[in-house]
Amino acid sequence: MINQKYDYFFDIGAYIGFYSLSLCKLVSKTIAFEPNQQNFQRLSKNVEINNFNISCHNLGCSDSKNKLKLWYTDKNKRGGSSILQDTDKEINKYDKTKLLYEEIDTDKLDNLYPLKNKKIFFKIDVERHELNVLKGASDILSNNKCYLQIEIFPHLQDKILSFLDNNQFKLLHRINNDFYLKNF
């Protein structure tokens, strides 16, 4: 996994930054994305307390620069927040009148980091928005050596794995819904 030097580590869906804090000393540059304002404040505080050099963005990664909505089931538990999408059936499990919403900004990783010829480690955990994130990083994925650790829910596996296969990624390992792939 991370037994070799990487130029960048992208922690997409950082929550409080466990992976960022754990891996930042093993890579040249660590970049964390957390769109939820409350979680972003926790992430930033963790980075400050630990005095780590991590670039934190209060921004969601997607396939476009946009304003989208996150939804939550509990104001005190925002780790499982999701981008509001018409195709996401998960929201139907909840009483929609009790859900909480937050408007967030999104952008494509390709817009933010036009990288070439780098070695990049990705951790992507975005609650059913993975394909959008990957599409927004298509230039990065095709122009760099990339290792992915990505959570993929069962009903999205075929689409996401097909996209990755078309982009020369090979599956290395899987633990439940966590997939480990690389394109080099």
Q: Can you give the pLDDT at residue 18?
A: 67
**Structure confidence by residue, pLDDT tens digits, 111-161:** 999 999 999 999 999 999 999 999 999 999 999 999 999 999 999 999 999
* CA 118/CA 143 separation, integer angstroms: 8
164 has a pLDDT exceeding 70: yes
Say what the pTM is.
0.91
93 has a pLDDT exceeding 80: yes
User: What is the side-by-side strand order in the sheet with 6-12?
Assistant: 54-57, 27-33, 6-12, 119-124, 145-151, 178-182, 170-175
* Third-level CATH fold of 6-182: Rossmann fold (3.40.50)
What are the DSSP calls for 84-140, one per residue? --TT-GGGGGS-GGG-EEEEEEEE-HHHH----S-EEEEEE--SS-HHHHHHTTHHH
**Structure confidence by residue, pLDDT tens digits, 29-85:** 899 999 988 889 988 998 898 888 889 999 999 999 999 999 888 777 666 678 888
Of the candidates 57, 54, 67, the residue with the CA atom closest to the CA atom of residue 35: 57
User: Across residues 92-116, what is the average pLDDT?
Assistant: 93
DSSP state of 155: G
